[in-house]
Amino acid sequence: MSADPFAAPPAANGRAPDVFKRGGWVPMRQYGEDEAVDFAVVGTGAGGGPLICGLAEGGFSVVGFDAGPYFRPLEDFASDEREQDKLYWTDERVVDGANPITMGGKNSGKAVGGSTVHFAMVSLRFRPEWFKSRSALGYGADWPLNWREMWQYYTKAEKALSISGPLSYPWGPKRPRYPYRAHELNGAAELLARGAEAMGLKWTPTQLATVSAPHRKSPPCVYRGFCRFGCSTNAKQSQLVTFIPRALQAGAEIRDLAMVGRIEIGPDGRATGVHYHREGRWRFQKARNVAVAGYAIETPRLLLASATDKFPDGLANSSGLVGKNLMTQSNQAVFGTMAQEVRWNKGPPSLSITEHWNYDDGKDFAGGYCWMAQGPLPVEWVTIQTSSRGLWGQALRDEMEKYNHQVGLKMVGEMLPDECNRVTLADQKDQYGLRVARVTYSWGDNDKALIQHALGQMQTSLEAVGATNIFRQEDDTNHLAGTARMGDDPATSVVNADCRSWDIPNLWVCDGSVFPTTGGVNPSLTITGIAMRTADRIRILAARGEL
Amino acid sequence: MADRYPGYDVLSKRWTESWNETTRQVIDRRLSVPRQARFFSAAEWRTLSAVCDRIMPQPKDRPPVPLPAYVDQKIAAGLLDGYRYAQMPPQGEAWQRGLAALDRAAQDAHGGRFHVLPPDQQDGLLRRMQQGELTGEAWGGMPCKLFFERRVIPDITQAYYTHPVAWNEIGFGGPASPRGYVRMGLDRRDPWEAAEANTGERAHARRKNNRVG
C-alpha cells in the first residue's frame, strides 16, 4: 500500500497522484497564494470537477480545493464496505425536523472527485418539463434554463463520462445513442424487468457511468458490485478519473486535504479569495473569482459562515434563500425473497430502471419518481432489516441468512421545495473550529403521497414475480438539492442561469444547490451538465469583458 | 436453516484474485482488533457485552465476533456517523449514558444489573427500550428509542456484518477485487461463490465450497 493519503496532502510539490498507476504521479502546476488566480473552486465533485476542467481548458488559472484526500483507487481502495467509509463526509452535522435526514453516507463525499467516487453511477436526464415545472406542471419553481440547451449538455456530459446505456430510451424526446453499450442484467435487474412487464410498464437497462468496454486507461467493469464503496479498478467514470485528470493536464491545481472555511470579501464588496485549512494551519489564497461547489449542505454553510458587516446574513443572500428549500429525494424501497438464487451483490446495484411514473401525469400528486433494481451489501442490508422491521436477535440472524435470495426495488422520488427545509449554522464547532451545519427536514403531504404511491407500485411489481415475505423500507432518503437556487429574479433566487450570484458578481455556485426543483431521477448528470455549461458561459462572458 | 453454506470460508479466497493487498491488510486489522476496552470502563464493558449477546446472539461452537471491541474501537478512534440527532449527545456519551440507564432500569425492574439477568428479562428490557418505554433521570433527556435505533442497533449489527464469519453464514462472496463476477443471471453461481446446501445436497455443496479458494 502507498503512503497514507490522509497523513499529508498527496497533491503537492508539483505533482498529483496518477490515479491510473500504483505509486504513480502526474505533473501538476501550482500557484502561489499571493498570486491571484482567476478562479478558486471549492469542491471537486460532479459540479466542481467539470467546472475546474472547463475553466482550465479555457485558459483560466484555477485552483480546485477539496477537504478530502486525493486517492489512487488501485491501491487505496479496499474491497470492503466499512473501510470505505473514508470516502464519506462523516464530520458531525446536527439533524432535526419531523423527518431528520441521515447524513454521512450516500449523500456526501469527502475526497477529490466528491461523492462521484462512491455514487451508484446512475446517469439520467431530467424530463424536459421539469425545467419549467411551475409553468408546465403546476408545482415547484421554474428553472432559468432551457431544456433544449440542456439536452445538448447532457449529450456532452454523457460523452465525457462514456455512459453506457440502451440503444433507444423508452421515455422523453429523442436522444443520441449512448457512447457505450448497456451492461448486461443481473438477476435483480431481470426481476425488475419481469415485474414491470407484468404491470404493463416499460423498463430499460440503466444508463451507468461505468464503462462496458475499455476507455483510455479505464478497463471495462468486472461486476464487483462494490460501486458505492469506491471502484478499485477505475471502470467507474468518477470525476477523480475523468474531468480531474483532464483539468490537471490543462494546468489546473488541485489542493487536497484543504478545507475552505471562509470567503473573503473586499471593501468593494467583491470576493478576494478563500481562507482554507491545510496541514494544521489557516492559509489564504487570492482569487479574482470564487466558485462554491460543495453540494447542498457545505455550500450554504460556507456562504452563511462568510458573513461580513456588509453581508450580515451571509454571502449572496439578499433574497434570504441561502440554505432554504433544501430538498432530498425519497429513497424508499420494497424487498422480498425469491425461491431462486438472485445473488444481487453481483454487478452495479441498479442495472435496470423504470421511469414510467416520471412521464405519466395521471397521478393525484405533484412530481415523479423512478425505481431501480437493488443490490445492497451485508452492512447496508442489515441496516435495512433492522431499521425497517425492527429485527434483532435470532430473528435478525434468520432473515440475514436469506441474503442470496433477496430481491428489491428502490425509488428515487421528487420531493418538493419548502423554505422550512433548510441548512443553518449550529453553535457546535467542528475540528476546524467552524460551526457545523444544522439540517432541518420534514416531509410534506405531497411527498408522503408520492412515497405511498411508489411503495404500492413497487410492491405490485415484486408480487408479480413471485417474491414472498415482502416488506417495505419506509424511511430512507438520498440525493440533496436546493439551498442556493437559480432563477431569473434576484428577489427569489440566489444565482442566475450562469450560476453567478446576483449579489456578488465574482462569486459563483456550481453544484446541486442551484436546483430549484429536484426531479425524480438521480441528479449527478444534471449537475455535470450545468457545470459544463457554466464553464462555457464564463468563457463567453470573459471574452465579452463581462466577468 | 443452520449452516446453509457448509464448509464455505471466505477467508480461503484470501490469496486468490478476489483479494488485493489493500483488502488483505484491512481485513487483517479487523480480525486483530484488541479485545480490551479503550473507551469503556470495566463495568460498562460488562453491560455492553451482555447487550451484544442479545442483539446478535452467536453460536457457541466458534470464537465469537468481538462485538464490544468494535463498538469500543469506533468511539475510541473517533469514527463519526456524519450526523447526530439534535436530541442525542455525541456517540461516546450516548453509549455511557444509555448503558448506565439500562443498568438502572434492570435494578428497578429485577433487582440486579443488566448482565446478571436471565436472557428473557434482558430481552424484555431491550424491547421496552425499542418501544421507547424506559424513562427516568438516568437517560438525561436522551430518548431511549433513539438510543436503541441509532446507537445500539447500528453499532452492534453493522459491526457483525463487517466480519468474515458473518459473510460465511449468509453466503456473501466478500472482497472482489480485482476479480469480480462473471455469471450474472438468476440461479447462476461463479465457482468462487458460496454454494448453498439444498436438501440432500450438503456433501455436494461442501465439496464446491472447499474449492472456492
Chain segment B148-192, per-residue pLDDT in tens: 999 999 999 999 999 999 999 999 999 999 999 999 999 999 999
The per-residue pLDDT for A385 is 98
Least CB–CB distance from A94: residue in B57, B86, B171? B86
The per-residue pLDDT for A105 is 85
Residue A312: CB atoms within 10 Å? 8
- Quick one: cell of A337? 425473497
Chain segment A20-71, per-residue pLDDT in tens: 999 999 999 999 999 999 999 999 999 999 999 999 999 999 999 999 999 9
Residues 185-244 of A with CB under 8 A from B: 185-187, 190-191, 221-226, 232-233
- Whether A256 shows a pLDDT value over 50: the answer reads yes
The per-residue pLDDT for A1 is 45
Assign A399 a pLDDT band (cuts: 50, 70, 90): very high
The per-residue pLDDT for A204 is 98
CB B172 within 8 A of CB B194: yes
Residue B184 CA neighbour count, 13 Å, CB half: 21
Q: Give the distance from residue A103's alpha carbon to the nearest chain B alpha carbon, in angstroms.
A: 5
Residues 360-379 of A with CB under 8 A from B: 377-379
The per-residue pLDDT for B2 is 62
> How far apart, in whole angstroms, are the C-alpha atoms of residue A195 and residue A336?
13
Q: Cα(first)–Cα(last) distance of chain A, in Å?
A: 45
- Whether A2 shows a pLDDT value over 60: the answer reads no
Enumerate the residues of chain A whose CB falls inside 8 A of the CB of residue B179. Answer: 222, 224
Contact A378 B184 (CB under 8 A): no
- Whether B69 shows a pLDDT value over 50: the answer reads yes
> How far apart, in whole angstroms, are the C-alpha atoms of residue A435 and residue A428?
6
Q: Which residue has the cell 483539468?
A: A247
- Whether B200 shows a pLDDT value over 90: the answer reads no
Read out DSSP for chain B? -TTSSTT--GGGGTTSTT--HHHHHHHHHHHT--SS-SSS-HHHHHHHHHHHHHHS---TTSPPP-HHHHHHHHHHTT---S-EETTS--HHHHHHHHHHHHHHHHHHHHSS-GGGS-HHHHHHHHHHHHTT---SGGGTT--HHHHIIIIIHIIIIIHHTTSHHHHHHHT-----SS---S--STT---TTSPPP--TT-HHHHHHHHTT--
Q: What burial letters (b/e) apply to B40-70, b meaning 16+ CB within 10 Å?
A: beeebbbbbbbbbbbbbebeeeeebbbbbbb
Q: Say what percent of chain B tops pLDDT 90.
A: 96
Residue A181: CB atoms within 10 Å? 15
Q: Which has the closest alpha carbon to A293: A15, A31, A40, A37?
A: A40
Q: Does A389 touch chain B (CB under 8 A)?
A: no
The per-residue pLDDT for A236 is 98
3-state secondary structure A134-182: HHHHCCCCECCCCHHHHHHHHHHHHHHCCCEECCCCCCCCCCCCCCEEC
Q: Give the distance from residue A538's alpha carbon to the nearest chain B alpha carbon, in angstroms.
A: 35
Give the residue on B whose Cα is nearest the Cα of A86.
B79
Dihedral (CA of A457, A459, A464, A465) sign: positive
How many residues does this entry show for chain A?
547
Assign A435 a pLDDT band (cuts: 50, 70, 90): very high
Q: What is the mean pLDDT of residues A466-483?
A: 97
Between the CA of residue A516 and those of A101, B111, B197, what are the distances in Å? Answer: 19, 58, 53
Q: Give the distance from residue A66's alpha carbon to the nearest chain B alpha carbon, in angstroms.
A: 17
Enumerate the residues of chain A whose CB falls inside 8 A of the CB of residue B160. Answer: 382
Q: What is the mean pLDDT of residues A175-184?
A: 97
Q: What is the mean pLDDT of residues A126-132?
A: 98
Residues whose CB falls within 8 Å of the CB of residue A349, separated by 6 or more in sequence, listed in order: A120, A225, A227, A228, A372, A373, A374, A375, A376
Assign A106 a pLDDT band (cuts: 50, 70, 90): confident
- Whether A13 shows a pLDDT value over 50: the answer reads yes
Contact B83 A1 (CB under 8 A): no
Mean per-residue pLDDT of chain A: 97
- Whether B199 shows a pLDDT value over 90: the answer reads no
> How far apart, in whole angstroms, are the C-alpha atoms of residue A6 and residue A101?
28
Q: What is the mean pLDDT of residues A384-407?
A: 98
Chain segment A269-298, per-residue pLDDT in tens: 999 999 999 999 999 999 999 999 999 999
> How far apart, in whole angstroms, are the C-alpha atoms of residue A164 and residue A448?
33
H or E, element range at A264? strand A259-265
Give the residue on B whose Cα is nearest the Cα of A220.
B180
Between the CA of residue B47 and those of B36, B102, B115, B117, B119, what are the distances in Å? Answer: 14, 8, 5, 11, 13
Assign B107 a pLDDT band (cuts: 50, 70, 90): very high
Q: What is the mean pLDDT of residues A503-512?
A: 98
The per-residue pLDDT for B201 is 84
- Whether A321 shows a pLDDT value over 70: the answer reads yes
Q: Say what percent of chain A tops pLDDT 70.
A: 100
Least CB–CB distance from A186: residue in B174, B177, B184? B184
Residues whose CB falls within 8 Å of the CB of residue A248, separated by 6 or more in sequence, listed in order: A16, A26, A27, A28, A29, A254
Label residue A123 left, alpha or beta by phi (over 0 means left) and psi (-120 to 50 means alpha).
Answer: beta
- Quick one: cell of A32? 502561489
Domains of chain B, residue spans: 10-28+165-209, 41-164
Q: How many helices (H) and strands (E) does chain A have?
A: 11, 22
CATH topology assigned to domain A15-543: FAD/NAD(P)-binding domain (3.50.50)
- Quick one: cell of B144? 431511549
Chain segment A325-348, per-residue pLDDT in tens: 999 999 999 999 999 999 999 999
Enumerate the residues of chain A whose CB falls inside 8 A of the CB of residue B150. Answer: none
Task: Classify burial at A533, counting beta carbons within 10 Å of its beta carbon; exposed 0-12, middle 13-18, buried 19 or more.
Answer: buried
Q: Does A387 touch chain B (CB under 8 A)?
A: yes
